[in-house]
Chain A
Amino acid sequence: MGKLKTHRMKPLLSKTTKPFVLFLLIVLTISIPVYYYVIDVIWQDELDEHNEIVAEKTAHELNRLNISGEDLQKNIALWNQIQPGTNIEKITSKKIPKDSIFTEEKYKPFSADPTIERYRSLKKVVFIKNSPYLFTIETNIEETESTIMIISFITFFFFTLIVIGLVILNRRLSKIIWAPFNDTLNQLKIFNLNNQSKINFIKTDTKEFEELNESLRRLIDHSISVFKGQKEFTENASHELQTPLAIIKNKLDILLQSKDLTGQHYEIVEEINMALSRSSRINKNLLLLAKIENSQFDIVEIYIDEQVKHSISNLEEHIGQKNITLSTDILENVKSRGNISLTDVLINNLLINAIRHTSIAGNIKIELSKEYFRISNSGIEGLNPDLIFKRFSRFSNDNNGSGLGLAIIREICRFQNWEITYTFENDNHTFSVKF
């Protein structure tokens, strides 16, 4: 199982938060001109109404004054002087202009600070004492920039508030909301079919998590039952086959005790014995392969140097028997992770393989370092590296092997995450196992 590349992985929450924040930013940014537009329209409407009222009221009041035309002119002049932002002017031309409403920007006329101010103006024709007057009124209105700035500032303030709130809420909620999910995840991480331990997911009221747990529960139950079935099949197959083999073997042992046995019979019994051993080995090896493929072995820390030495001492006499020169280069304290019995099988198979395929007075070399275990033996012709680890592909005329030895070695390596390679160089077959 590969390790998660954590530096590229992000928690789900940050994945949803980021687009959400981005969306929020876009919406709020769009809202700035919209707000501005709406506020400005309302404001202008109000100001227009206000200007209209002022114009009408002024005209009305002036009409109500019971004064002469001359006094009226004086009053209007005075009005124009003291009432800022309004102006009443007699229309002299024949043509009476239309009313107009407009916005204008200009410097404040009475201030030392020459800032530009925006005004909403109304030019309206009013009749005072039946004469037409052009009534001009201008009311200060907030400038576009400052309106936008204020809206932007407020929007940005709320945006920040929402983001901060979101992060804090997310952090708080995720602990609570994702708790059942994290629990499920942790249980799955430590789950191992080999242990046959049942998984108990905690109850959750989140629909999705409950669905996930339910599906996992079903999947795991199914896997366990399939696994159990396979294991049972493996064991049953073993039992069923071993028993008839045992019967044959025992009958041969009894036959050997017969008083009427001749030398020729004895030879036949031995040959049957030999074939019987082979078939029971093939059976055992097939079961071993099935078991490795079902991962029915525990992986622990093992001392490979000890196992190599033990295997050599077990097989030393067979090496001597063929006058094979054995050279070893074994490092002490070589540790790795694996299964003890499988590693034993691996080392023994490789060594026996080498012994069997080395001719009389040949050489075998065994090397063990921190990284690899290597076994070479002298030979004449290289083997096809593509076929060599296949089941039942035979390369020699001797039929004693089960045809599964190297396939088992490869499966063991795969199971323990080791790497096996075969090379043929300088008249030497070499099998290298990299830990």
Chain B
Amino acid sequence: MAGSKSGLLQGTLDLLILRALALGPNHGLGIARRVAQITQGTFDVKPGSLFPALHRLEEQGWLQSAWGESENRRKAKYYRLTRAGRKHLEAETESWQRIASAIASAIAATS
């Protein structure tokens, strides 16, 4: 499960969701599929992690939700990135890149 309580992983999932929504509003399943797509299948987000994360991000003000209609004319809840969410995504992306490169160089140095 990707929903482990460890801070790093939770942050990762949040980042991935925000990233997926940066491409445009989407519903739960759509977000899960898009995350799988943009991580080339590395992350398979299960609903047990996805929905708590979505609700949490919405409470933090980074997402907004509204009922809409899916491609198959099915009622679904659509999530959309807010301004604050976009800003947060930018900050998170930057810090993530810093950490990622730091870790990468750390690994390169020790091996």
A binds B: no
| B-binding residues in A (CB < 8 A) | none
| A-binding residues in B (CB < 8 A) | none
